Amino acid sequence: MKNLVLGNEALAKGAINAGLSGVYAYPGTPSTEITEYIQKSKVAKELGIHSSWSVNEKTAMEAALGMSYAGKRAMVVMKHVGLNVASDVFMNMAVSGINGGLVVVVADDPSMHSSQNEQDSRFYGKFAMVPILEPANQQDAYNFMHYAFNLSEELKLPILLRMVTRLSHSRTGVVFKERRKQNGIQLPVNSKRFALIPAYAKEQYKKLVDKKSDLIKSSENSILNKLTLSDDKSLGIIACGIAYNYVMENIGENDSFYSILKISQYPLPKEKVKALYQHCDEILVVEEGYPIVEELLHNYFDENDKIKGRLSGDLPMTGELNPNIVGQASGFFQDKVRNIPEIVVGRPPQLCEGCGHTDLFKAINALIPEIGEKKVFGDIGCYALGALPPLNTINTLIDMGASITMAKGAADAGLENAIAIIGDSTFTHSGMTGLLDAVYENTPITVIISDNSAVAMTGAQDSSALGRLKNICLGIGVDPNHLIMMTPLKKNHNKNVDVIRKELKYKGVSVIISQRPCVRLSREKKEEIKQKIAALN
Amino acid sequence: MHTNIILSGVGGQGILTIATVLDTAALSQNLYIKQSEVHGMSQRGGAVQSHVRISDSEIFSDLIPLGKADIILSVEPMELLRYIPYLKKGGWLVTDSNAFVNIVNYPEKHDLFKQIKSHKNHIILNATEEAKKLGNSKVANIILLGATSSLIPLSEESILNAIKKLFNHKSEKIIKLNIEAFETGKQLAKGFTEFVY
């Protein structure tokens, strides 16, 4: 029987059935539903699989490594930019190696549907010298989890599994297989390798470099990298991950006429690539993301005109692929298509009606004539929409936590009235450390924590910050006289403007907690939050 | 058999409900299905779409190629026109006439309808109004699904079963309301000749 699931859900189910003991993650589009599926799964609950959210991707990955150290299978899940946050542990656990199987699932967002860049996680896999798996479809996503845990335990390395938005958020019927048992606790035979002092690290690093031939051998023999050579030699196609679907969509029933190498496991199987290269007159590389495979081909075979892809201009350098772009590049017939009628105008996303962020922004906007423009440093979350008209409040948005630290740097430069706006969950994710920097020097900035008691943008998941913000700020050393609570409501507008104005005048660190639950939360959830806050304070 | 349907609307208007009904019905008939959807930032009052592909053979791309959609089913008239590049020659347009105006530069409605009517195969219904008559404006999406049902190669039985399954955890009343909405849409489409505005 087929089960109707998203790519993300297929992957999650695959992990449960592959003997997972714990998932660690911080929400981030397009990866969120993987962890949510396990949180909602009755089976996972019965099996005691850990699935609570972590404070950020780094803490998540470290906890997953700890579970692996104890001998059990762990998975850590994040969006592509989350891997930047976790990159410290990611690079180093490749050196130490793992004990129980460990799979790092990273969902890339080409075309930046909900992100600030379109970095390609395969580069990280290459950088850390670990195997990468790249499913093409939802059934692959399910099947690959079992394969990934086996490969991880066989090579004693973490495996990077790369998803992309269109696979994560596309539904289809998937066949589930039997579930295998979890591992028991079994500490590593050689625990020295986890203590990366230089003497041990040098030894481990050499082992990692020496493993490269095993990794390539595994890729060469992998059933996930399928080479089909046909009699027609005009065009050979290397199709990576989801790009395979777009190639097949165009080829349709003529698939026996084309030579295709489907890549779903890296490092690249060089011999298979060579076989295709030598067999065909021209090679088209179709990959979602950066031209990483195309570049490698140029390395293998010298620069030449035989290789087509993003670098050659046959496919665009930016944005995600689709069946039409791939159809054009591979020379298949392309119908003329209609244009969007001119009267259609853009409809960008906007803050929900009644959202507390809006009331906060209006209060700040009221102060702009006094304090001057371009002094509001923003962060990642729903409130980033405050960078758009009609509010136009926020001036910067770079990465998780950058509001506080950028405001600090600007204040260090002599800028007055620097304001940082950060959400509650983003604050605990990456804002606390920056706040300590500012407190340490008593930098004149005003930090506004726009606290809606949820990780709202990704679907209102629980925030680790809930009920703890005040104590965290006091603990960090914020002056209690400049730790102010306010409620962002229309009726409080004048009062809130005064509060912010007063704190802007203070030549030191002020923190204003602007607190009102997300309007998307259900009444029951809001009640639950109220009780939790009361219990904590 | 290969049917491509674009569902369109504004975040929160319920196009994923339509998608789920189609997915469930197709799977129950042992057909292949792929359905992409939008999560994240765009869901906040922005333009959203879902690509639904139903076939009796394997489907590869999660996205419908431009010019290959058999049907664009929209719960909002301007959002319908946004996906015109996907429409196949001779494909069908089905939409609610009720505009969702959350932007200052929303176009003249008359111009929108004129554009839609320039395509011969179209059905425009005031589904929101009809849903209100049934007692709940939320079922406008199911009315539109009913209006489109004769163009989709799925049995009515499997669609109705999918609706029942989807609302199974809700009250008997909600299930009945949605089935009624489906029937209403079907009848309105049958009787549709011209949308007058």
Reported as a single tens digit per residue, the pLDDT across A411-431 is: 999 999 999 999 999 999 999
Q: What residues of chain B lie within 8 A of the CB of A459, using their CB?
A: 39
Average pLDDT over every residue of A490-503:
98
* Nearest CA distance, A378 vs chain B (angstrom): 16
Which CATH number characterizes residue A34's domain? 3.40.50.970
Using the beta-carbon criterion (under 8 Å), do A339 and B85 form an inter-chain contact?
A: yes
- Nearest CB partner across the interface for B40, out of A114, A171, A327: A114
**A131 and A75 in a common domain:** yes
Instruction: Tell me if A375 is assigned to some domain.
Output: yes
Question: Looking at the predicted structure, is the pLDDT value of residue A111 above 90?
Answer: yes
**A241 and A193 in a common domain:** no
**A398 and A291 in a common domain:** no
| Minimum CA–CA partner of B113 in chain A | A343
CB B91 within 8 A of CB B73: no
Q: What is the mean pLDDT of chain B?
A: 95
User: Rg of chain B's alpha carbons, rounded to an integer?
Assistant: 16
**Structural tokens at position B42:** 């765009």
Own/partner contacts of A325-334, CB < 8 Å, gap of 24 or more, are: A325/A246, A326/A243, A326/A246, A326/A247, A326/A249, A326/A250, A326/A286, A327/A246, A327/A249, A327/A250, A327/B65, A329/A284, A329/A286, A330/A235, A330/A237, A330/A247, A330/A250, A330/A251, A330/A284, A330/A286, A331/A235, A332/A250, A332/A251
Name the residue among B66, B111, B114, B116 with its Cα closest to residue B95: B116
Instruction: Tell me if A169 is assigned to some domain.
Output: yes
Using the beta-carbon criterion (under 8 Å), do A172 and B35 form an inter-chain contact?
A: yes
Name the residue among B94, B96, B111 with its Cα closest to residue B13: B96
**Structural tokens at position A49:** 């699989």
pLDDT at residue A517 in the model: 95
Instruction: Tell me if A341 is assigned to some domain.
Output: no
Q: What residues of chain B lie within 8 A of the CB of A2, using their CB?
A: 27
CB B94 within 8 A of CB B30: no
- Nearest CB partner across the interface for A340, out of B27, B62, B84: B84
Mutate to test the interface with B, among A113, A258, A347, A455 (most CBs of B within 10 A): A347
Render pLDDT for A282-330 as a digit per residue (tens, 0 to 9).
999 999 999 999 999 999 998 689 999 999 999 999 999 999 999 998 8
Name the residue among A331, A338, A315 with its Cα closest to residue A250: A331
**Structural tokens at position A30:** 């397009």
Predicted interface score ipTM higher than 0.90: yes
* Nearest CA distance, B57 vs chain A (angstrom): 11
Q: What is the mean pLDDT of chain A?
A: 96
**A270 and A165 in a common domain:** no
Render pLDDT for A45-54 as a digit per residue (tens, 0 to 9).
999 999 999 9
pLDDT at residue B116 in the model: 97
Using the beta-carbon criterion (under 8 Å), do B60 and A245 form an inter-chain contact?
A: yes
| Minimum CA–CA partner of B60 in chain A | A245
CA distances to A43, A55, A143, A330 from A246, rounded to whole Å, are 35, 37, 21, 11
Rounded Cα gap, residues A42 and A104, in angstroms: 23
**A173 and A57 in a common domain:** yes
pLDDT at residue A257 in the model: 77
Instruction: Tell me if A221 is assigned to some domain.
Output: no
* pLDDT range class, residue A333, cuts 50, 70, 90: low
Using the beta-carbon criterion (under 8 Å), do A30 and B84 form an inter-chain contact?
A: no
pLDDT at residue A351 in the model: 92
Cα end-to-end distance, chain A, whole Å = 50
Render pLDDT for B49-77 as a digit per residue (tens, 0 to 9).
999 999 999 999 999 999 999 999 999 99
Rounded Cα gap, residues B33 and A393, in angstroms: 43
**A187 and A316 in a common domain:** no
Residue spans of beta strands (DSSP E) within A136-252: 159-164, 170-175, 226-228, 236-240
* Nearest CA distance, A253 vs chain B (angstrom): 11
**Structural tokens at position A164:** 């992309």
Within A1-121, where are the H helices? Answer: 7-17, 32-40, 42-46, 57-69, 80-85, 87-96
Render pLDDT for A472-483 as a digit per residue (tens, 0 to 9).
999 999 999 999
Using the beta-carbon criterion (under 8 Å), do B78 and A351 form an inter-chain contact?
A: no
Render pLDDT for A354-405 as a digit per residue (tens, 0 to 9).
999 999 999 999 999 999 999 999 999 999 999 999 999 999 999 999 999 9
Q: What residue numbers bound the domain in which A292 lies?
A: 226-329
Q: What residues of chain A lie within 8 A of the CB of B41, using their CB?
A: 29, 113-114, 349, 385, 457
pLDDT at residue A534 in the model: 87
**Structural tokens at position A161:** 């599994």
**A301 and A263 in a common domain:** yes
Mutate to test the interface with A, among B7, B33, B44 (most CBs of A within 10 A): B44
Rounded Cα gap, residues A76 and A90, in angstroms: 11
**A25 and A154 in a common domain:** yes
Instruction: Tell me if A347 is assigned to some domain.
Output: no
Which CATH number characterizes residue A324's domain? 3.40.50.920
Q: How many domains does chain A have?
A: 3
pLDDT at residue A218 in the model: 98
- Three-point CA angle A135, A325, A288, nearest 5°: 30
pLDDT at residue A436 in the model: 98
pLDDT at residue A413 in the model: 98
Mutate to test the interface with A, among B28, B62, B88, B116 (most CBs of A within 10 A): B62
Q: Count Cβ atoms below 10 Å from residue B139 Cβ, excluding itself.
A: 28
Instruction: Tell me if A475 is assigned to some domain.
Output: yes
Rounded Cα gap, residues B5 and B148, in angstroms: 10
pLDDT at residue B43 in the model: 75
| Minimum CA–CA partner of B29 in chain A | A2
* Nearest CA distance, A240 vs chain B (angstrom): 14
* Nearest CA distance, A250 vs chain B (angstrom): 9
Task: Number of A to B CB contacts under 8 A, please give it.
Answer: 142
Q: Model pTM greater than 0.90?
A: yes
* Nearest CA distance, A312 vs chain B (angstrom): 23
pLDDT at residue A255 in the model: 65
Rounded Cα gap, residues B186 and B163, in angstroms: 15
One CATH from 3.40.50.300, 3.30.750.24, 3.10.20.30, 3.40.920.10 for B2-99+124-190: 3.40.920.10
Average pLDDT over every residue of B141-168:
97
Using the beta-carbon criterion (under 8 Å), do A32 and B39 form an inter-chain contact?
A: yes
Average pLDDT over every residue of A519-525:
92
- Nearest CB partner across the interface for B44, out of A327, A337, A349: A349
**A323 and A366 in a common domain:** no
* Nearest CA distance, B104 vs chain A (angstrom): 10
Using the beta-carbon criterion (under 8 Å), do A343 and B11 form an inter-chain contact?
A: no
Greater confidence (B197 vs B73) lies with B73
DSSP state of A182: P
Average pLDDT over every residue of A148-161:
98
Burial of A303 (0-12, 13-18, 19+ CB in 10 A): exposed
Mutate to test the interface with A, among B37, B54, B61 (most CBs of A within 10 A): B61
**A403 and A270 in a common domain:** no
Using the beta-carbon criterion (under 8 Å), do B107 and A335 form an inter-chain contact?
A: no
* Nearest CA distance, B107 vs chain A (angstrom): 6
Using the beta-carbon criterion (under 8 Å), do A171 and B34 form an inter-chain contact?
A: yes
Q: What residues of chain B lie within 8 A of the CB of A338, using their CB?
A: 67, 84-85, 87
DSSP state of A318: S
Using the beta-carbon criterion (under 8 Å), do B85 and A458 form an inter-chain contact?
A: no
**A275 and A198 in a common domain:** no
Question: Looking at the predicted structure, is the pLDDT value of residue A93 above 70?
Answer: yes
Using the beta-carbon criterion (under 8 Å), do B62 and A33 form an inter-chain contact?
A: no
Cβ-count burial A69-86 (b if 16+ within 10 Å, e if not): bbbbbbbbbbbbbbbbbb
Using the beta-carbon criterion (under 8 Å), do A338 and B87 form an inter-chain contact?
A: yes
pLDDT at residue B115 in the model: 96
Instruction: Tell me if A346 is assigned to some domain.
Output: no
Render pLDDT for B79-104 as a digit per residue (tens, 0 to 9).
999 999 999 999 999 999 999 999 99
Render pLDDT for A438-491 as a digit per residue (tens, 0 to 9).
999 999 999 999 999 999 999 889 999 999 999 999 999 999 999 999 999 999
Mutate to test the interface with A, among B38, B60, B89 (most CBs of A within 10 A): B60
* pLDDT range class, residue A87, cuts 50, 70, 90: very high
**A427 and A368 in a common domain:** yes
Instruction: Tell me if A219 is assigned to some domain.
Output: no
Using the beta-carbon criterion (under 8 Å), do B40 and A29 form an inter-chain contact?
A: yes
Average pLDDT over every residue of A166-173:
98
- Percent pLDDT > 70 in chain B is 99
